[in-house]
Amino acid sequence: MKSASKRLAANCALMLAMAVSCLAQEAHVGNLTGHATEGKKHYRRYCIGCHGPLGDGNGENAQWIDPKPRDFTAATFKCRSTPTGTLPTDQDLYNSVGRGFTNSNMPHWDALTDQNRIDLVAFIKTFSPRWQAEKAGDPIKVPAEPPVTMESITHGAELFQKMECWKCHGQQGRGDGPSAATLTDSKDNPIRPYNFAAGGDDSRFKCGVTNQDVYRIFMTGLDGTPMPSFADVIQPNDAWDLVHFLRTLQTNRHSRENEVLKAAGGKIPTKAPDANPPAQPENKGSGSGN
């Protein structure tokens, strides 16, 4: 009896400590410090309708929304600067709140002050215990961008083939590759690959508009979606070549990449088929004369 009440007291103390630490959750970006207690007020006003009172993405509007609102209890986020499987940085979440998500119902919350947004980030971090147990991943380094050249674009096009990006995104980047129709996110909701060719000068990627953002998207992967991380299999310089090529898939968008491509005649040279046999090296020297 005594030990039971002792255990109860210990449990209560633990729960209290957790509750306090939850409410004491902070977020830091530059000189800003966000507080969960403040963020909770803004959340209840601006976010609860879609993300829900429990932060699980089941707000009352959620049933009408596609893609579905983020489930914060899973602590899995698409837009990160950190490796796949790791928590994003406070800066990543702060950027997402301010940027919003293109092709979704998540608006850019630039009507909120910087302090409001960082408070919200602190509160979002109370929905999963992972924020107590883990640190954010180490951001993937993005080296300085090399100049846009036809060589870079051409090599990027080769990588697009080699990495089989086209399996989902399609040869023209229209999001219509052979696997596109079957894709689902980690909650089994259908999801479409990004259509590079849609939109013009206003077109945005899910996680930003700059070349650095594009670099980051395929190196980190978009966790919770079919888009994997390529950080282990693409070298930094190759990654920039791929970025330059991907920009040329945005055919209606003015860009340095499209200018360079146009100046070179508008076509990316493909290697002669003889110089690049389709991946059957073991057939070489077999003497079959095929």
Q: Which residues in this chain contact other proteins in the complex, by CB under 8 A?
A: 74, 76, 84-86, 162-164, 167-168, 178-179, 182-184, 186, 221, 223-233, 279-280
Least distance in Å: CB of 83 to other proteins?
Answer: 8
- 193 by DSSP, 3-state: which? coil
DSSP 8-state class, residue 45:
I
Rounded Cα distance between 185 and 66, Å, is 12
Closest CB to other proteins among 61 and 225?
A: 225
Closest CB to other proteins among 214 and 261?
A: 214
Rounded Cα distance between 258 and 250, Å, is 8
Length of the chain: 290
Least distance in Å: CB of 134 to other proteins?
Answer: 8
Least distance in Å: CB of 147 to other proteins?
Answer: 27
Could you give the angle at which helices 256-263 and 150-162 cross, rounded to 10 degrees?
100
Least distance in Å: CB of 234 to other proteins?
Answer: 9
Closest CB to other proteins among 44 and 162?
A: 162
Closest CB to other proteins among 109 and 127?
A: 127
Closest CB to other proteins among 56 and 114?
A: 56
Rounded Cα distance between 113 and 25, Å, is 19
Burial class of residue 261 (count of CB atoms within 10 Å of its CB; 0-12, 13-18, 19+):
buried
Longest dimension (CA), the chain: 87
Least distance in Å: CB of 31 to other proteins?
Answer: 31
